[in-house]
C-alpha cells in the first residue's frame, strides 16, 4: 500500500504463537517496534509527495535513487516496516505443515533437502553479529539463496525478493530466551506457515 503506510495487522492474537513466541514479546514487537518503524517511515516521507504513490517494497528496491536526505531513514524504517510485515505473515499458530508443490522441489534442488535449508537459515541467522535478519530469498536470476542482513536492511535493496525472514534482533526473543538466540531459532520453525512461504515463492517467480 502507498503512503501513508498503515501498521499491518498480525492476523492472529498476541498469544497465538505461545509457547514458542510469548505474548508479551509479540505485543511489544508489533505495537511498539513495528509501530515505530511505521511512524518513522511515514514521517520521513511526509514532505516527499513524489514518493507517496510507491509501496514500501518499491521504495526499498529503489533505495539508491531516493533523495539522500531520507535514504537512511527509508533504509532503516522502511526496512523495519516491510521486514516485520513479511515476518508476521509467514508465522501461524502451530505452524503449517512442510513445504509442498513447487517450493518443495525448489528447496530440494537448491539446498539438497528441506532440513538442509532450515540448517542453512539457522546458521546464517545465528551467525549474524548483532541485530539483523536471516533470509530465504530469490535473487534477480531466480535462484534461491540464504543470507543474513544487518539491522533492518532488506534483500529488496540488493535486488532479491525475500520469501521467508527471521528477526534476530534481541527484541524478538530476549524476554523469553534472553541471550539464547539458537533456542529461539529452534522454535521459530514450529510456527512457520509454509503455505504462505510457498505463495511468496510463486509470487517472487512471477515478479
Which residues would be at the binding site for Mn ion (CB under 5 A)? 167, 169
* Cα distance from N-terminal residue to C-terminal residue, the chain: 17
The CB-of-180 to Mn ion minimum distance in angstroms stands at: 17
Spatial CA neighbour of 133 closest among 111, 161, 155: 155
Closest separation in Å from C-beta 37 to Mn ion: 8
For the bound state, the minimum distance from the C-beta of residue 87 to Mn ion, rounded and expressed in Å, comes to: 7
User: By beta-carbon distance, which residue lies closest to Mn ion?
Assistant: 167
66: cell is: 531516493
83 or 198, CB closer to Mn ion? Answer: 83
Q: How far apart are alpha carbons 59 and 61 in whole angstroms?
A: 6
**Closest distance between Mn ion and the C-beta of residue 26, in Å?**
11
Grid cell at residue 109: 534442488
Whole-angstrom Cα distance, residue 207 to residue 194?
A: 20
Closest CA relative to residue 164, chosen from 188, 182, 181, 128: 188
> In terms of CB distance, is 86 or 103 closer to Mn ion?
86
CB 83, min distance to Mn ion, A = 7
DSSP state for residue 49 in the 8-state scheme: G
**Nearest to Mn ion of 17, 106 (CB atom):** 17
Measured CA to CA, the distance from residue 89 to residue 70 in angstroms comes to: 27
Nearer to Mn ion, 153 or 167 (CB): 167
When the beta carbons of 85 and 197 are compared against Mn ion, the nearer one is 85
Amino acid at each position: 500500500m502507498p503512503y501513508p503506510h498503515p501498521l499491518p495487522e498480525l492476523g492472529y492474537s498476541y498469544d497465538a504463537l505461545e509457547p514458542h513466541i510469548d505474548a508479551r514479546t509479540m505485543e511489544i514487537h508489533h505495537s511498539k517496534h513495528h509501530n515505530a518503524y511505521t511512524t518513522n517511515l511515514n514521517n520521513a516521507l511526509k514532505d516527499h509527495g513524489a514518493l507517496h504513490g510507491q509501496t514500501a517494497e518499491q521504495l526499498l528496491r529503489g533505495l539508491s535513487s531516493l533523495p539522500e536526505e531520507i535514504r537512511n531513514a527509508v533504509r532503516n524504517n522502511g526496512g523495519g516496516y516491510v521486514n516485520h510485515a513479511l515476518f508476521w505473515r509467514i508465522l501461524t499458530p502451530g505452524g503449517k505443515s512442510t513445504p509442498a508443490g513447487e517450493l518443495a522441489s525448489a528447496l530440494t534442488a537448491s539446498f539438497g533437502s528441506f532440513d538442509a535449508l532450515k540448517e542453512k537459515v539457522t546458521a546464517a541467522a545465528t551467525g549474524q553479529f548483532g541485530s539483523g535478519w536471516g533470509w530465504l530469498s530469490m535473487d534477480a536470476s531466480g535462484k534461491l539463496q540464504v543470507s543474513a542482513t544487518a539491522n533492518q536492511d532488506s534483500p529488496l535493496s540488493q535486488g532479491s525478493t525475500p520469501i521467508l525472514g527471521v528477526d534476530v534482533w534481541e527484541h524478538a526473543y530476549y524476554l523469553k530466551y534472553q541471550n539464547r538466540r539458537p533456542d529461539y531459532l529452534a522454535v521459530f520453525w514450529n510456527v512457520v506457515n509454509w503455505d504462505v512461504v510457498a505463495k511468496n515463492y510463486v509470487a517472487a517467480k512471477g515478479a
